[in-house]
Amino acid sequence: MMAGGPEGAPLPAGQFAARGFVRFGLGRFRHKALPADLPLNLRIGGDVANPLLLGEQFAALPRHSQVSDFHCVTTWSLRSLHWSGVRFADFYHGVIVPQARPAEGAGFVVFRGVDGYRSALPLADLLADDVLLADRLDGAPLGVDHGAPLRLIAPAHYGYKNVKHLGAIEFWTNRRAYRFPYPYPSFMDHPRARVACEERARLLPNWLLRRVYRLFVPKEIR
Ligand SMILES: Nc1nc2c(c(=O)[nH]1)N[C@H]1C(S)=C(S)[C@@H](COP(=O)(O)O)O[C@H]1N2
Ligand SMILES: [Mo]
């Protein structure tokens, strides 16, 4: 678990303090225009007995607020962001298990954004206390820049696992239905991407990844 670090504590290896929180995406996802008033329509699927379509039911779940740091793999970090929403663990045990009924061993979870972006994490990582399905930032409804209507916040994992504009969450027994979005090579997608272990990507060394990814940091936050 990684909550907001104490002021003055060092950032994780290879990260620097960004000067602001901008909308971020790589390549074709950077400026993809989305409507500001996207309704919440969350498809629950994969290896589940009963696929669901969730909308307003989400409002009935217990809410949780937290302060956590955010670390993008391209080396920028932000301290102490105030998120609120529903803990993934509460959502999983309160809705997914009783209503969707995942198959035994459906521990590979895929998150799909309505912009076509997607990412995946192991269920065990998502059940940590600080993993949130967030719909508010700094006390206001999440704007379209930062992932309206709902996004994943998994602070222990690099930003690219924190999928915005969620349209679907799928619970699979294997990885076959998943590929990191075109045109990104799959080596860029570490299965866990834990910040504390500097799991930026697969195959390439971190000294190289830090230098190459750094080129994609927007000028206004350097
Ligand atoms: N749907 C969607 N989710 C996404 C992305 C994206 O382009 N589309 N970019 C990811 C990356 S690489 C990062 S660092 C964070 C950036 O979040 P922000 O735009 O709120 O700064 O969102 C992640 N989730
Ligand atoms: Mo990122």
Nearest CA, atom 15, ligand 1: 159
DSSP character at residue 89: H
Sign of the torsion angle spanned by Cα atoms 147, 128, 210, 191: negative
Q: Quick one: pLDDT at residue 6?
A: 58
Contact 79, 4 (CB under 8 A): yes
- d(CA 77, CA 9) in angstroms, rounded, equals 13
Choosing among 3.30.2290.10, 2.60.120.620, 3.40.50.300, 3.90.420.10, the CATH entry for 16-214 is: 3.90.420.10
Q: Quick one: pLDDT at residue 111?
A: 98
Nearest CA, atom 8, ligand 1: 117
Cα angle 39-45-46, degrees, rounded to a multiple of 5? 150
Q: How distant, in Å, are the alpha carbons of 41, 90, 125, 149, 170 from that of 116?
A: 15, 26, 23, 15, 14
> How many CB atoms sit inside 10 A of residue 198's CB?
17
Q: Quick one: pLDDT at residue 7?
A: 62
Whole-number Å distance, alpha carbon 56 to ligand 2 midpoint, is 29
- d(CA 163, CA 14) in angstroms, rounded, equals 22
Query: Pairing between strand 151-153 and 132-137?
Result: antiparallel
Cα angle 202-206-208, degrees, rounded to a multiple of 5? 105
Nearest CA, atom 7, ligand 1: 25
The closest of 63, 51, 153, 60 to 96, measured between CA atoms, is 51
Whole-number Å distance, alpha carbon 72 to ligand 1 midpoint, is 9
Nearest CA, atom 6, ligand 1: 25
Q: Quick one: pLDDT at residue 3?
A: 47
Cβ–ligand 1 distance for 155 under 6 Å, the answer: no
Which of 19, 22, 24 should be mutated for ligand 1, with most atoms under 8 A from CB? 24
All residues with CB under 5 Å from ion ligand 2: 72-73, 159-160
User: Which atom of ligand 1 lies nearest, measured to the CA of 70?
Assistant: 14
Give the list of residues 6+ apart from residue 153 with CB closer than 8 angstroms, or none. Answer: 68, 70, 83, 85, 130, 131, 132, 133, 134, 162
Nearest CA, atom 10, ligand 1: 160
Contact 132, 70 (CB under 8 A): no
Q: Ligand nearest 29 Cα, by number?
A: 1
Residue with tokens 């954004």: 113
Contact 127, 166 (CB under 8 A): no
Could you list the pLDDT tens digit for every one of the 222 residues in the chain?
A: 344 455 668 999 999 999 999 999 877 787 778 898 999 999 999 999 999 999 988 899 999 999 999 999 999 999 999 999 999 999 999 999 999 999 999 999 999 999 999 999 999 999 999 999 999 999 999 999 999 999 999 999 999 999 999 999 999 999 999 999 988 999 999 999 999 999 999 999 999 999 999 999 999 999
